[in-house]
Amino acid sequence: MDLAYLAELPQEEFITRRENVFAQMQDNSAFIIFTEAEKRRNNDCNYHFRPDSYFWYLTGFAEPESALLLIKQKGLCESTIFLRKKDREKEIWTGRRLGVEAAPETLKVDAAFEIEHLAKIFTEKTQNLTACYYAQGYQAWGDKVVNAQFKEVIDWRPMLSEMRLIKSTAEIALIQQACHISALAHIRAMKQTRPNRYEMEIEGEIQHEFNRFGARFPSYNSIVASGENACVLHYDENSAVMKDGDLLLIDAGAEFAYYAGDITRTFPVNGKFSEPQKALYELVLKAQKEAIKLLVPSNSIKMANERVIEIFTEGLVALGILKGNVHTLIEQKAYRQFYMHGLGHWLGLDVHDVGDYSNERSRPLEIGMVITVEPGLYIASDTDVPEQYKGIGIRIEDNLLMTEYGNKNLTSGCPKELADIEEIMAAV
């Protein structure tokens, strides 16, 4: 499959976003945004650098130690990029740098300066301005430079988050690709899983499939959790040997052109669900399918979650895991012991993307938003439940695009019906 044509957003998209910011800035103001420096992992080895999502969103520039300055003065708009200076010696060792000379044409900005001159140039360029849009608290030296110059500092996060929340057609194509690659990786994982393999072997299979289709990295550390490890929500040690009779929960998503996929599937290590596993799996699947029906524009994640909570509580009572009256149990939030996370989150450049997480995610969904839907049940073995359910953790997670017709499941290529999973696993 040739994915090259989809690997990048068109340059126009970044220009339009900056124009959109300029349009929202008050006159005689500055806007500044930084991306991080590389982080040391150990001795002289660094973590692989990944640009800040807000910075990338406005620049399409992926070098560390960079900043973008926008100035709107007497109605005129000027964009300036700050970046590392070209350094032949360093480039031989650690990679190419764009440099100030090529930057304006390549990034379609008005001017470029070396990052080491930022404080001086920022102070000069902004001396007659009245306000600065800036997100405090990420960069001590950035805070110092901005606060020394401005009394009025306006957080740009609400503005940019609102923009990032509604995805463009080009962004949706990239997210769809991330989701598609993620789905293929889960299918590969199902085919490669069997008793006595390490969880990390399956992590490797997932990574291999990502790389085969042009996604260099996962969008978060892959969770490959067998048996009771599935009850640790963000387990990513992936170091256990998978046991016959256990389930395997995999939460893994590809990052494609910086956009995230985020899929969870749960399936038996030996390819065949046991009766108690089946009962719990069917309950989670039922709740997920009901939630998908409700997650459409105008409805909210909170509203769909209320239905999930009803289904879970009824189901857990029927299985003897919860005891008592369903309504009372819901009021008491008895389900929290077994379902302790949210139903879903917004998805985009970040896996937990910008969005309104207040009031239990009650913001009405809108066309162009992408969200996850991921109910789960986690029955830790130290809970007082029938023996056969102990140590089982199940989550099923898909990614939904809000459309004028309702929603589109971007991860529908990843099987989740019990019979389909068993068939795939039996075929190898």
User: Which tokens sit at 291?
Assistant: 């939630």
Minimum gap (Å) between residue 223 Cβ and ligand GLY: 7
Q: Which does 220 bind (CB under 5 to 8 A by kind): ligand GLY, Mn ion, none?
A: ligand GLY
Rounded to 5, what percent of the chain is helix, strand, coil?
40, 20, 40
Give, as ranges, the residues between 205 and 224 that touch ligand GLY (CB under 6 A): 220
Which residues sit opposite 255 in a β-bridge? 217, 260
* Binding characters for Mn ion, 259-288, by CB under 5 A (x = yes): ---x--------------------------
Minimum gap (Å) between residue 363 Cβ and ligand GLY: 18
Q: Which of these ranges, 174-182, 185-193, 267-275, 364-372, lies near Mn ion under the rule CB under 5 A?
A: 364-372
Minimum gap (Å) between residue 345 Cβ and Mn ion: 6
Nearest C-alpha neighbor of 71 from the set 118, 11, 119, 131: 131
Give, as ranges, the residues between 366 and 405 that touch Mn ion (CB under 5 A): 372, 397
Distance of alpha carbon 371 from alpha carbon 354, whole angstroms: 11
Among 63, 228, 236, 262, binds ligand GLY (CB under 6 A): 262
Kindly state the helix (H) or strand (E) to which residue 71 belongs, with its residue range: strand 67-73
User: For 155, left (φ over 0), alpha (ψ -120 to 50), or beta?
Assistant: beta
Pick the catalytic residue: 40, 117, 216, 234?
234
Sign of CA dihedral 182, 376, 162, 365: positive
Give, as ranges, the residues between 300 and 359 that touch ligand GLY (CB under 6 A): 345, 351
Distance of alpha carbon 50 from alpha carbon 37, whole angstroms: 10
**Residue 52 or 262: which CB sits closer to Mn ion?**
262
The widest CA-to-CA distance across the chain, in whole angstroms, is: 72
Among 374, 396, 399, 410, binds ligand GLY (CB under 6 A): 374
Sequence-distant (6+) residues with CB within 8 A of 423 are none
Catalytic status, residue 44:
yes
User: If binding means CB under 6 A, how many residues of this protein chain bind ligand GLY?
Assistant: 7
CB 30 within 8 A of CB 69: yes
Catalytic status, residue 234:
yes
Nearest C-alpha neighbor of 247 from the set 223, 224, 226: 226
* Binding characters for Mn ion, 225-264, by CB under 5 A (x = yes): --------------------------x----------x--
Sequence-distant (6+) residues with CB within 8 A of 36 are 49, 51, 52, 64, 65
Give, as ranges, the residues between 19 and 78 that touch ligand GLY (CB under 6 A): none
Q: Is 236 in the site for ligand GLY (CB under 6 A)?
A: no
Catalytic status, residue 186:
no
Side chain identity at 179, as an amino acid letter? C
Enzyme catalytic residues: 44, 234, 251, 262, 341, 345, 352, 374, 378, 395, 397
Binding positions for ligand GLY, rule: CB under 6 A: 220, 251, 262, 345, 351, 374, 397
Binding positions for Mn ion, rule: CB under 5 A: 251, 262, 372, 397
